[in-house]
A and B are shown apart, each in its own frame.
Chain A
């Protein structure tokens, strides 16, 4: 059974810092991995989706990497801003089904 973990559970950084969020999964037979952002009490907003054949995806200040063999993905946020404060979740879709397994999320606070 696929299990997804995210470290750290919470992170607080000053504005302008570059930061890395980590996502680990136990079964490397994944189809793709998706990073989401969730603001308090709101739904999830898709940030990036990486196919299993890809090593990274970029969107603006965000860069997500995938190392399937080691069961890891990272989300790199450059030049962080207070508006980046949210919970970031990763979800993996495995090869056996059509559904995603979610990690518990990392709660990010960017201080002005």
Chain B
């Protein structure tokens, strides 16, 4: 069991729905990440937040909207998704600009878009 939790663990939504994924870390880290993992593809970085400010956005479609209200919580707001957005969404955290900076991952949210 890690210090990073994600809810919900499974989500099924229609293309017109709006939902949010939640991530919480209890490790005292100050950077949080959203990754997308699709079948047979490497993990893709979506967003990075450091000290609650977005520091990197790898050109993710605007139907994904992140929010980081504080260093312990991270959300991914979803709206008008496409079936190809079905994937495992993983949250991770670490200490930004640390010499070591090991990443710790949550269990993921399995998203299915119908």
Contact = CB atoms under 8 A, between A and B. Distances in A.
Question: Is A bound to B?
Answer: yes
Interface of A: 4, 32, 34, 36, 41-46, 49, 51, 89, 91, 93, 97-100, 102-105
A100 B43 CA distance: 10
Interface in B40-84: 40-43, 45, 48, 50, 55-56
Given A34-B102, A97-B56, A102-B43, A42 B97 contact: no
Contacts, number: 60
B56 A46 contact: no
B31 A49 contact: no
A41 B42 contact: no
Given A41-B110, A43-B2, A45-B2, A100 B103 contact: yes
Interface of B: 2, 4, 6, 31, 33, 40-43, 45, 48, 50, 55-56, 88, 90, 92, 96-97, 99-108, 110
B81 to A, nearest CB: 20
B91 to A, nearest CB: 8
Contacts of B33: 99
A4 B43 CA distance: 11
Contact of B90 (A4, A44, A105): A44
Contacts of B42: 4, 89, 102-105
A51 B100 CA distance: 7
A42 B107 contact: yes
Nearest to B100: A49
Contacts of A32: 100-101
